[in-house]
Amino acid sequence: MIKTLLQETLDNALIPKNIYSYDQRKTGNNANEYIVYSLSGEVKDDFADNINLIKHTNITVRYYYNAELLGDFESRKQIRENEKLIEQALEEQGFYMPFGKFDGGDIDDIGYLVTIFECEFWEVL
């Protein structure tokens, strides 16, 4: 359910901008911008009489963009707008970002810079 909600949220926000989202790793053609996300587990928390009442999932969303896009003002501006769009879309669907986003640089050494969004999603069971 979380994966489906996450994929739909990112698709609805970003496909109109021709930015596609992938689970775990990117596949397909090269693109100047794309998203890769991963879930690091669903944890159920017990309360009261050892009954599971809440489940939370930790999620990492990585927005990759070609480093060459930083070469001009308009491209840099568009990247920042896309970051805001991603953050807003996630928050509107109930994803909580306690630490916001941060710049990860070229973490994969592939010529793409990355902005990382660490999210949580809480569900009442």
Chain segment 59-69, per-residue pLDDT in tens = 999 999 999 99
Q: What is the pTM of this model?
A: 0.88
Query: What domain count does the chain have?
Result: 1
Helix (H) or strand (E) holding 118, with range, is strand 112-124
**Residue 38, Cβ neighbours under 10 Å: how many?**
14
Rounded CA separation 53/44 (Å):
7
Domain of 32, CATH number, reads 3.30.2000
Mean pLDDT of 25-54: 78
Maximal CA-CA distance, the chain: 59
* pLDDT confidence tier of residue 28, bands split at 50, 70 and 90: confident
Chain segment 82-104, per-residue pLDDT in tens = 999 999 999 999 999 988 899 99
CA torsion, ordered 82, 92, 95, 5, to nearest 10 deg:
-90
User: Could you tell me the residue range of the domain that residue 102 belongs to?
Assistant: 2-124
